[in-house]
Structure 1
Amino acid sequence: MDLGSGLGHLSYSTLVHAGDTWAEMRDSLETFLPQVKARVSPDSAFGVSLRISADSAETLAADPAERRRLSDFLGAHDMYVYTVNAFPYGPFKGGTVMERVYEPDWTTDDRVEYTNAVADILAEISPAEISPSIQTAPLAFKPNVADAAYVQRFTTKLLRVVAHLVELEARTGRRVKLALEPEPACFLETTDETVDYFRDHIYTPNGIAELAHLAAVPISEAEGLMRRHLGVVFDIGHQSVGFEDIPRSLQKLVDAGIPIFKLQEAAALWVKELTLELVPQLRVFTDTIYLSQTTLRRDGVATRYLNLGEALDAFEADPGPAEMRTHFHVPVFLEELGPFVTTRFAVQEALQMHRRTPLSDHLEIETYTWDVLPAHLKTGDIVDYVTRELEFVRDELVG
């Protein structure tokens, strides 16, 4: 839904629903979206954040009738697609995901072809007045990045997609934006690393010249086209896990001229004072198919772990004073979770900043961990949960 006053479009990520194939995603859309719209946007158009897996992209790209069916469904229910999650390439529900979510990474042709296909679909199904965004993986799982040559390979592949977006707009008049999403344990993890990557590899004479060559445009136009089509997703929860100061991090991106194509409202689990007595209650959150990247901070020094269980093991071996944050998406409308708290305050700080000076025209709540939340945190069904999150964010912005 368009919040008005330049605050942008707001919805929730349909990554929360079953959607590994297009048949699953279509069924989820038709089942849940009308229910959510009826609650939060009954009298105005409702924006949709659509998950498109590689399997779904292949189906939609090959079947014009299926694309028309999707467009007809959206039109009949007064809905519109303004953003796509094309981060998970393959299955995301029902089985172990972990670091497989980053594969294939940006060194591969598979990632390029998948993203280009999603862009082509978006240009067709999104409204003419919308410049839709594609959320994508943060280049590579950090342990896999062996050397500078690896970085150059995924940079060139990334620029191939930017060149495709330039050509797509020239051909169709539709601007599609690609947004890299920094995440713990990835090549783009911190805001500082993200700024460094754009400064050292994208906004450089070589980077601009490479795009000019790939897109067959004058070099005098290439830098503007780079900024027009390539930016970032800022996931508040991801950056909170690393104990970043969220307003300061957002300002760093603004000062560096890196477009924030999507501002993602997500909260992480936060334990202000970790004790041995709390460890058993935290282990409930380790039963998940997803990575739960975790940061322990002692005396101001942060230590990162790939999973919550590993962090808890380390703490039990050395149970000194510590606080902890973990990449487990929890309801943004909750400040407390029993004996724990959340980083909801960081979401509120970012929204206050956005309310003063809009940072992005695309906002999104990412609630994909609903199915693996401990049972005591689930009140109502998924429609109730999503509705409360949307109402919370909307109220923070427009009152």
Structure 2
Amino acid sequence: MRFRHPDGTTVHLGYCSNVHQAEDLDGVVSQLAEYTEPVRQRLDADRLGVGLWLARDVVTELVADERALGQLRDELALRGLETVTLNAFPYAGFHREVVKKDVYLPDWADEARLRYTLDCARVLAALLPDDAERGSVSTLPLAWREPWPAERADAARHALDRLTAGLATIEVETGRRIRVGFEPEPGCVVETTAQAVRHLGGLDPDRLGVCLDACHLAVGFEEPSAALDRLARAGLPIVKLQASCAVEATGPADPAARAALRRLAEPRFLHQTRTPRGAESLSGVPVASPAAGCEPSTDLPGADAPVLGTDDLGEALEGGLPTTSGPWRTHFHAPLHADPEPPLRTTAGHLTDVLAGLLGGPTALCDHIEVETYTWSVLPEPPTDLPGGIAAELAWARDRLTGLGLKEDPS
């Protein structure tokens, strides 16, 4: 779906296809028919955006075979779909039985990550609608935080220089501008917007920037307006917003909340969990050491408001986080429109504030929005009607955008 901001900017809204299991081209084409076109029909929209996730093998095939690339473009057009963004964070195997930290491999110190990202940019340049101003590709925030010795950090920085040059070459060859956004995520080298400024500041803003995931921002207890201001002052553009919600337990000591959280502690994906650092030293509850993944961060707005965290929800429930210093937020992408099991709630209000900060002012600060709830299959009660659930999320996002004064653009 497209929207027109009052300043004239076209804002693209779609959903990310990494929710679907497809790691070959036939599977990608099939999911467009089985899921994505029905989502468009449920919304009664003439055109729907889909942020494709294309595994390494699919991208390799598309780069090597122009006919295959043309087939994918034709399938998108046939079904009333368009693609302005790719999710190149997962490399492969995103729906294996256990993914966890493997999702961060290869990282930006590995040549394979650079090659994959540039290949994704080449594919996207061919898939972009003719009237799209630019495309975007989201990627991981350099690497998981450890091990990250100086030599790997140096290799990653060199890779970003080569990425910038490669994107410039693609623009010269195709006439299409593709930007890459690095997605801060809890536990990674770039976890917060302050770390984004530290590690990514000074890069070419015409080519590189930030993919802001609202779930990750909420898990880090980053206040939206301060985070957006920090990025703007550093000259880091928000290439893409992933519209997502975290799960919050306002009273993590409540037995009902803990029981509901245990049902979310599943084995496939990593569910980093954070709480404000405050009264934990008075609580008498043991706090995990940094080696166990419970490291305070001072990169949030104001050094007096850091957080404590664990690398997974199960660790928090086993005593890795205090229950008296404040709410817990966990990296579990919850459906935007639906409440989780009580007494848990989502950070939908936080996402609404992010949208207002980006699009509620006189200038649009982001033009690519991707609903990214990839966790439908690991919910305690997975949906029987996935297209209906995704359509409801997109309708929720559509209502927030029109509420900010954007107009649906059927063109």
Superposition TM-score, scaled by structure 1 size: 0.89
Distance of aligned partners of 1:127 and 1:301 in 2 relative to their CA distance in 1, 3 Å threshold = closer
Q: CA RMSD in A?
A: 1.7
* 8 Å Cα contact 1:365/1:389 also seen in 2: yes
The more displaced of 325-334 and 274-283 is: 274-283
**Residue 110 in structure 1 maps to residue 112 in structure 2:** yes
- C-alpha distance in 2 between matches for 1:363 and 1:227: 19
Matches within 5 A, 1:88-103: 88-103=90-105
For 2:263, what is the secondary structure of its paired residue? helix
Find the partner of 2:378 among 364, 372, 377.
372
Matches within 5 A, 1:3-22: 3-5=3-5, 6=9, 8-22=11-25
* 8 Å Cα contact 2:260/2:342 also seen in 1: no
Matches within 5 A, 1:1-399: 1-5=1-5, 6=9, 8-42=11-45, 44-130=46-132, 131-147=134-150, 149-199=151-201, 202-203=202-203, 226-275=204-253, 277=255, 278-299=257-278, 302-314=307-319, 320=324, 322-335=326-339, 337-353=341-357, 354-356=359-361, 357-375=363-381, 378=382, 380-399=384-403
* 8 Å Cα contact 1:128/1:174 also seen in 2: no
- C-alpha distance in 2 between matches for 1:254 and 1:48: 27
The more displaced of 290-299 and 229-238 is: 290-299
Task: Give the superposition deviation at 1:41.
Answer: 4.5
* 8 Å Cα contact 2:37/2:80 also seen in 1: no
Task: Give the superposition deviation at 1:182.
Answer: 0.7
Task: Give the superposition deviation at 1:45.
Answer: 2.4
- C-alpha distance in 1 between matches for 2:210 and 2:128: 20
Task: Give the superposition deviation at 1:179.
Answer: 0.9
For 2:83, what is the secondary structure of its paired residue? strand
* 8 Å Cα contact 1:54/1:114 also seen in 2: yes
| Deviation string, structure 1 residues 231-262 (Cα, Å, up to 9, x no partner) | 11000100110111022111211221111010
For 2:162, what is the secondary structure of its paired residue? helix
Task: From the two aligned structures, give the one with the greater helix fraction.
Answer: 1
Distance of aligned partners of 1:117 and 1:321 in 2 relative to their CA distance in 1, 3 Å threshold = closer
Q: Which runs of 5+ in 2 are unaligned?
A: 279-304, 404-411
For 2:206, what is the secondary structure of its paired residue? helix
- C-alpha distance in 1 between matches for 2:306 and 2:229: 23
Task: Give the superposition deviation at 1:315.
Answer: 5.4
- C-alpha distance in 2 between matches for 1:288 and 1:8: 36
Task: Give the superposition deviation at 1:322.
Answer: 3.8
- C-alpha distance in 2 between matches for 1:52 and 1:321: 41
Superposition TM-score, scaled by structure 2 size: 0.86
| Deviation string, structure 1 residues 261-295 (Cα, Å, up to 9, x no partner) | 10111000101111151323311111130110001
Equivalenced residues, count: 370
Distance of aligned partners of 1:230 and 1:269 in 2 relative to their CA distance in 1, 3 Å threshold = same
